[in-house]
Amino acid sequence: MLEKLISDMLNKHLSKFLENIDTKQLGATLFNSSILLNDMRLKSTMFEDSPLPFAMRYGQIGRIFLKIPIWDMFKTPLVIEIEDIVAVVGLKPMAQWSAE
The confidence score (pLDDT) of residue 81 equals 93
In the chain, what are the domain boundaries?
2-96
Residue 14 pLDDT class (50, 70, 90 cuts): confident
pTM, full prediction: 0.72
- Does residue 77 carry a pLDDT above 70? yes
- Does residue 87 carry a pLDDT above 90? yes
Q: How far is the CA of 8 from the CAs of 35, 38, 92, in angstroms?
A: 13, 18, 32
Do residues 98 and 91 make contact, with C-beta atoms less than 8 angstroms apart?
no
Backbone φ, ψ for residue 26 (5° rounding):
-75, -40
- Does residue 66 carry a pLDDT above 90? no
Q: pLDDT tens digits for 35-59?
A: 888 888 999 888 888 788 888 999 9
